[in-house]
A and B are shown apart, each in its own frame.
Chain A
Amino acid sequence: MKFDRTVSTTCPYCGVGCQIDLNIKEGRIISAKASEGKAPNFGRLCVKGRFGTDYTHHPTRLTKPLIRKDLDKEKREPCGMEGFREASWDEALDMAADRISRTFLQSGSSAFGTFCCAKATNEDNYLFQKFVRSVLKTNNIDHCARLCHAASVAGLQKALGSAAMSNSIAEMKDLDLFIVTGSNTTETHPVISTYLKEAVVKNNARLIVIDPRKIEMANFAILHIQHKPGTDVAVYQAMAHVIVRDKLYSRDFIDRRTEGFEQYSASLDACTPQWAEKITGVTADKIEQAARLYGEAEKAAFYWGMGISQSVHGTDNTLSIANLALMCGHLGKPGTGVNPLRGQNNVQGCSDSGGLPNIYPGYQNVADEESALKFEKAWGTDLNRKPGLTTLEMSDAIGEGIISDFIIMGENPLMSEPDLNKAREHLSKLKNMIVIDIFLNETGQYADVILPAAAFSEKNGTFTNSDRRVQLVRKALDPPGEAREDWQIISELAKRVGRRIGQDFSSEFNFSRADEIWDEMAELVPAFGGISHERIEREDGIHWPCPDKSHRGSPYLFSDSFPRGKGKFHELKLTNLSEQPDDDFPYILSTGRVLYHWHGGTMTRRSVLNDISPRPFVEIHPDDARKENLDSDSTVRVSSRRGSIELDIRISDRSPTGVLFIPIHFAEAAVNELTRDIRDASAKIPDYKICAVKIEKGR
């Protein structure tokens, strides 16, 4: 097979950040292979990276700016392509700018809500937040990290002062013992899972899986703890109890590097394994065993995913893990650490680039006067000191009429937010909604103006992967039709809005290439100081923090100290705010992903990946299926107090009895119709993994 060209770039799917070579022929990606010998994947890929980039050529790609035909109706209704008309870029951008500036002049900056995008580049996101902060004067900016790892971030910030994964992927070969919890790693981070499995099979590392579902990783574990959903804190507190009781902790590490241990350990008195057994359904001896394995291990690490963070107790879940790592000193050495596995290709980078309501790029606080002055000087304008609203707070504010204008780059809240009935009702109340995307998805159907963007293979820039490695994204093809790169769209929009509100931003949004945007950000973010596109080109990817050109980057964190100084123990109280099953809704519903699909499905449902996994399903334990008189041919209806969906059934003992599992990817049976929007108090992340449902025979 002869190709016209091969372009090396970074995979657009999960946070592993695999390096892939796209084989191009006649303007299309024909196939993809792993870039030879390059970190972090060293020749490995998963099905999505290798076969799933064909979505970029799907016939429904947006190729021209679109304007809604029935603008300014009392109540906004969703519509397909037929509800829009094509427009020129000038007309669409002018209309978007007119509407935005009208709101700005009439209602002020608090009327804006904005979502940046964990799939777009660092450069796109830096420029987007600069537009939001410097032109619209609001910090109401957030992205889907809120809905995935917000609780990991909140917990690790409290305990350590930094929320990124503390180990690099390359260190997995050094593992001695590791705990995978709330992560279906083989399906969500397939390439990382191969390193983890390899550590077990080749290096005799020991794996403990702590997860209610019998996921594939459990086949490689010496111990699988199947606790009741929502009882994570009890498992970890009881493990901590055993470690304190048997003095398996590292006194030296506790003395040198931590604070609050005495108080915390005293709080564990009642948290015996027998106490936990009653709450978690896990036998006390299993908890004892897990505690001994973790406490006695030379080098041990935690890896976790949404099972820990997407919970009304997400921050506590994370803190309970951090407490264990701190007391055993399993931090700051190769192969030890605490690792939230990031979901999106650039969710790490989107946060790093300032896509959050409380921080400027590089985690510099918006409420901090010194930081604000720094960015005011750099951007030549005054900035709002008030931290903005988080994702779901913005949705609420739209419902309450406080936010009237919504600008969304590449996100799909009408698949990803909990309680979709409510989310839709909120969006329908907007006065103005501007969307930048590559497809017309469930959210775009509510927009006034849609601006067509470039896909990952059609732009230059950088993604930052789960282990903080900044890697290049290289343009392989031109965007289809008139679609443009996100940062180009944002620049144009910023300049036009600026003119209409009487401020000249032309010099602040005057970039001709993505690397110029990176350079501006690197000057403002100390941790990026030594990173440039040119250097990544030479060295293949650099782990931040990398403060200057002679610094080699930081594959693992916390070797000498934590960003907050000493690691802090947190006392935890066991609470249970999740919706509990009852006679009417007797099952617990948990949500998650499958190997072949990606989040809201905007990309993978338009890919060959959909051929192998085309239909939504609910996973149910055989005992429950028998009890409900359901066989494998049944179509079933699953309902909660908020909604109801109809889908196929998959009878399997992967889920324990009493628990149903439904993947999140299928718009025709969107599981978030059923979920509940109660949130973790400090992280504001919703309780996706638990709500009460019933199941019955469908049509």
Chain B
Amino acid sequence: MNQISLTIDGKRIQCEEGLTILEAARSQGIDIPTICYHESLTPPGLCRQCVVEVKGARVLLPSCITEVKDGMVVETSSPRVMRARRTILEMLSASADLSEAPDLKKQIDTLQAQTERFKPKVPNIQEPLIDNPFYIRDYGKCILCGKCVQVCSEEVQLSYALTVAGRGFDSRIATFYNRPLPETSCVFCGNCIEVCPTGALKPRKEFENEI
């Protein structure tokens, strides 16, 4: 692999060609917050929380899927970046219940995001779906990071029980034809619970223990 050099937050670094900006930054101990990114999954580049400012680029670039280039100059926490991240958190707060998303709550605190800023007129209250003996789906907490769909399909389990249904504002995680899980190809491995960042997917025993 060719070595290239770039500048991240004013620091000149050498790294291998082909890395993403996120990987290069983390290898230098510079942390960039993420939401939909997971180390062992293909980055979907969905949430845009990991955006950075790259000199010469018109828009902020998602660091999880942008490859480093020789001579690149990257700012990971410029005011513009911070405002974008704060706004993402504020919009997520308006669309989902983040009370069981410890990592997101930490990011909200760090960035001093105003969680009430886009407060919806009608709160998004959904009853948790309990359709099987093993785990519940509480889509009021879902931020559509899509990790559950990834592990359920190509990335890990190859069971293809979960999918993204609908478009735009109507996008949601669902089963095919919205069937209850026991009627789908779900094998209840629960690997989706493992990657859910917000507690939208949860073992039933944990859920019942909290009530």
- Using a CB–CB cutoff of 8 Å, the interface residues on chain A facing chain B are 1, 23, 25, 30-31, 33-34, 42-47, 50-51, 54, 186, 190, 194, 197-198, 201-202, 220, 595, 608-609, 611-612
Given contacts A1-B209, A33-B194, contact A595 B187 (CB under 8 A): yes
B178-196 CB contacts (< 8 Å) to partner A:
182, 187-191, 193-194
Q: Are B191 and A608 in contact (CB under 8 A)?
A: no
Whole-angstrom distance between the Cβ of B209 and the nearest chain A Cβ = 6
Contact of A31 among B40, B132, B191, B203 (CB under 8 A): B203
Among B187, B189, B191, B210: residue with most chain A CB under 10 A: B189
Contact of A34 among B100, B194, B205 (CB under 8 A): B194
Whole-angstrom distance between the Cβ of A30 and the nearest chain B Cβ = 5
Query: How long is the Cα–Cα vector from A44 to B152 in the complex, in angstroms?
Result: 11
Q: Are A45 and B191 in contact (CB under 8 A)?
A: yes
Q: Are B188 and A47 in contact (CB under 8 A)?
A: yes
Q: Which 7 A-B pairs have the closest CB atoms?
A: A611-B133, A47-B188, A31-B203, A50-B190, A197-B158, A51-B134, A1-B206
Whole-angstrom distance between the Cβ of A485 and the nearest chain B Cβ = 26
Given contacts A33-B194, A608-B133, contact A194 B209 (CB under 8 A): no
Given contacts A25-B209, A30-B206, A42-B40, contact A612 B189 (CB under 8 A): no
> Cβ of B129 < 8 Å from any Cβ of A?
no
Among A25, A42, A47: residue with most chain B CB under 10 A: A47
Q: Are B187 and A46 in contact (CB under 8 A)?
A: yes
B143-187 CB contacts (< 8 Å) to partner A:
154, 156-158, 182, 187
Q: Are B188 and A51 in contact (CB under 8 A)?
A: yes
Q: Are B134 and A1 in contact (CB under 8 A)?
A: no
Contacts of A50 in B (CB 8 A): 134, 188-190, 193, 203
Contact of A194 among B40, B133, B158, B188 (CB under 8 A): B158
Whole-angstrom distance between the Cβ of A642 and the nearest chain B Cβ = 34
Query: How long is the Cα–Cα vector from A202 to B42 in the complex, in angstroms?
Result: 12
Contact of A51 among B100, B154, B199, B203 (CB under 8 A): B203
Query: How long is the Cα–Cα vector from A25 to B208 in the complex, in angstroms?
Result: 13
Query: How long is the Cα–Cα vector from A609 to B205 in the complex, in angstroms?
Result: 13
Whole-angstrom distance between the Cβ of B5 and the nearest chain A Cβ = 30
Q: Are A43 and B190 in contact (CB under 8 A)?
A: no
Contacts of B199 in A (CB 8 A): 1
Whole-angstrom distance between the Cβ of B38 and the nearest chain A Cβ = 9
Query: How long is the Cα–Cα vector from A179 to B190 in the complex, in angstroms?
Result: 28
Whole-angstrom distance between the Cβ of A327 and the nearest chain B Cβ = 33
Contact of B133 among A23, A190, A220, A612 (CB under 8 A): A612
Contacts of A611 in B (CB 8 A): 133
Q: Are B182 and A51 in contact (CB under 8 A)?
A: no
Contact of A30 among B158, B187, B193, B205 (CB under 8 A): B205
How many A-B residue pairs have C-beta atoms within 8 angstroms? Tell me.
76
Contacts of A608 in B (CB 8 A): 133-134, 204-205
Q: In the complex, what residue of chain A is closest to B100 when comparing beta carbons?
A: A1
A-B contact pairs, 25 of them (CB 8 A): A1-B100, A1-B202, A1-B210, A23-B206, A25-B209, A30-B203, A30-B206, A34-B191, A43-B194, A44-B157, A44-B189, A45-B191, A47-B134, A47-B190, A51-B133, A54-B205, A190-B187, A197-B158, A198-B158, A201-B158, A611-B133, A612-B132, A612-B134, A612-B182, A612-B188
Contacts of A612 in B (CB 8 A): 132-134, 182, 188
Contact of B187 among A186, A198, A220 (CB under 8 A): A186
| Interface size of B in residues (CB-CB distance below 8 Å) | 26
Contacts of B157 in A (CB 8 A): 44, 194
Whole-angstrom distance between the Cβ of A650 and the nearest chain B Cβ = 15
Whole-angstrom distance between the Cβ of A605 and the nearest chain B Cβ = 14
Query: How long is the Cα–Cα vector from A198 to B151 in the complex, in angstroms?
Result: 12
Q: In the complex, what residue of chain B is closest to A612 when comparing beta carbons?
A: B133
B103-147 CB contacts (< 8 Å) to partner A:
132-135
Q: In the complex, what residue of chain A is closest to B185 when comparing beta carbons?
A: A216
Given contacts A51-B134, A201-B154, contact A44 B206 (CB under 8 A): no
Contact of B209 among A30, A42, A51, A198 (CB under 8 A): A30
Query: How long is the Cα–Cα vector from A661 to B202 in the complex, in angstroms?
Result: 34
Query: How long is the Cα–Cα vector from A127 to B48 in the complex, in angstroms?
Result: 57
Q: In the complex, what residue of chain A is closest to B133 when comparing beta carbons?
A: A611
Query: How long is the Cα–Cα vector from A220 to B158 in the complex, in angstroms?
Result: 10
Contacts of B209 in A (CB 8 A): 1, 25, 30
Whole-angstrom distance between the Cβ of B200 and the nearest chain A Cβ = 13
Query: How long is the Cα–Cα vector from A666 to B193 in the complex, in angstroms?
Result: 30
Known: A43-B40, A186-B187, A197-B158; 11 extra A-B contacts, CB below 8 A, are A30-B205, A30-B206, A31-B205, A44-B156, A45-B194, A47-B188, A50-B134, A50-B189, A51-B133, A54-B205, A198-B156
Q: In the complex, what residue of chain B is closest to A596 when comparing beta carbons?
A: B188
Among A34, A44, A190: residue with most chain B CB under 10 A: A44
Query: How long is the Cα–Cα vector from A34 to B151 in the complex, in angstroms?
Result: 14
Whole-angstrom distance between the Cβ of B134 and the nearest chain A Cβ = 5
Whole-angstrom distance between the Cβ of A106 and the nearest chain B Cβ = 52
Contacts of A595 in B (CB 8 A): 187
Q: Are B40 and A46 in contact (CB under 8 A)?
A: no
Q: In the complex, what residue of chain A is closest to B158 when comparing beta carbons?
A: A197
Contacts of B132 in A (CB 8 A): 612
Whole-angstrom distance between the Cβ of B189 and the nearest chain A Cβ = 5
Contacts of A23 in B (CB 8 A): 206
Query: How long is the Cα–Cα vector from A42 to B134 in the complex, in angstroms?
Result: 21
Contacts of B134 in A (CB 8 A): 47, 50-51, 608, 612
Query: How long is the Cα–Cα vector from A595 to B210 in the complex, in angstroms?
Result: 29
Query: How long is the Cα–Cα vector from A607 to B182 in the complex, in angstroms?
Result: 17
Query: How long is the Cα–Cα vector from A576 to B172 in the complex, in angstroms?
Result: 56
Q: Are A45 and B189 in contact (CB under 8 A)?
A: yes
Query: How long is the Cα–Cα vector from A51 to B205 in the complex, in angstroms?
Result: 9
Query: How long is the Cα–Cα vector from A232 to B29 in the complex, in angstroms?
Result: 56
Whole-angstrom distance between the Cβ of A615 and the nearest chain B Cβ = 14
Whole-angstrom distance between the Cβ of A476 and the nearest chain B Cβ = 15
Whole-angstrom distance between the Cβ of A609 and the nearest chain B Cβ = 8
Given contacts A45-B189, A46-B189, A51-B134, contact A194 B205 (CB under 8 A): no
Q: Are B206 and A31 in contact (CB under 8 A)?
A: yes
Contact of A202 among B154, B191, B193, B202 (CB under 8 A): B154
Whole-angstrom distance between the Cβ of B74 and the nearest chain A Cβ = 27
Whole-angstrom distance between the Cβ of B188 and the nearest chain A Cβ = 4
Query: How long is the Cα–Cα vector from A220 to B160 in the complex, in angstroms?
Result: 13
Query: How long is the Cα–Cα vector from A198 to B40 in the complex, in angstroms?
Result: 13
